[in-house]
Amino acid sequence: MIERFKNSWELVKQSWGVLKQDRELAVFPLMAGIASLLIMATFLIPMIVAGAFDSFVNEGGIGIASYIVLFFFYVATYFVTIFANSALVGAALIRLRGGDPTVKDGLRIAREHIGQIFSYAVIAATVGLVLQMISERSGAIGKIVTGLIGLAWSLATFLVVPVLVTEDLGPVDAIKRSGNLLKKTWGEQVAGNFGIGAIFGLVTFGIIVLFVPLLIVAISAESVALIIAAIAFLIIALITIALVSSALNGIYAAAVYQYAITGKAGEFYDPSLLKDSFKTK
């Protein structure tokens, strides 16, 4: 297991090499973030009208009308996120296969599979909403169980996007295909995602630790300009971290998929580190 984690960590670092080569890949998470904010703003008024916030505060839960609005919000959010991830993974696979991708290439690939992406977004939204409903109506143990189910779902669907943009399968078959590939790649998925999450979690913590004394100094100096600068630094840093982390996750998924189906992950990856890592259990 230690050797598997080391190999996976090297795969994450080599994914960083792909991002350095194609910095435009970070544009796709940025698009998803902006679109998600617009969707959130669009759905905020219907949620208020449906009484979601009042129900949650007064009754500790939300009503049927609110769940309906929430479902459409989930679908819209999942759609733009999966669309952007499809563009990112599609472009990353071009690079891993020796090409030179552009943002236009990634968007073209996503558009070509927009039907499957939307259908998968509906499935993912349904699963997410059902898990939330169960969690809201469960005690502590129920919340733990739904959390574990959510984790299992995330692992089983980790390679759905690469499958959707390369194998021309419908969303249900893509989920099954991703689940089958999990038998080969479960260690890499867990260790790689843990590695990406851990390093960017530490970076985020470091940024916050740095921000606090900067803000204290700015407040002590009674300088509005310094306070604004400190807050701007924090916002820009957190956005940058989120974009890089999301881009690396997409590249990593593309690399795991590429190696699982071909035995090669492209010139950016050391084959000796990947050899024997994807044995079927």
Query: What pLDDT sits at residue 57?
Result: 42
Is 196 buried (19+), middle (13-18) or exposed (0-12) by CB count in 10 A?
buried
Mean pLDDT, residues 67-71 taken together: 80
Mean pLDDT, residues 1-9 taken together: 63
Query: What pLDDT sits at residue 281?
Result: 46
Write down the mean pLDDT value for the chain.
82
The H-assigned helical ranges of the chain are 2-21, 27-49, 52-59, 64-96, 103-112, 114-136, 140-156, 160-166, 171-220, 224-262, 271-274
**72-118 confidence digits (pLDDT tens):** 889 999 999 999 999 999 999 999 888 889 999 999 999 999 999 99
Please tell me the distance from the alpha carbon of residue 164 to that of residue 174, in angstroms, as a whole number: 6
**176-234 confidence digits (pLDDT tens):** 999 888 877 666 666 666 667 777 888 889 999 888 888 888 888 888 888 888 888 88
Query: What pLDDT sits at residue 108?
Result: 95
**146-184 confidence digits (pLDDT tens):** 888 888 888 889 899 999 999 988 999 999 999 888 877
Query: What pLDDT sits at residue 280?
Result: 46
Instruction: Taking the CA atoms of 33, 268, 89 and 260 in sequence, report the sign of the dihedral they define.
Output: negative
Q: Report yes or no: 188 and 11 within 8 Å, Cβ to Cβ.
A: yes
* Residue 45 reports pLDDT greater than 90: no
* Residue 277 reports pLDDT greater than 70: no
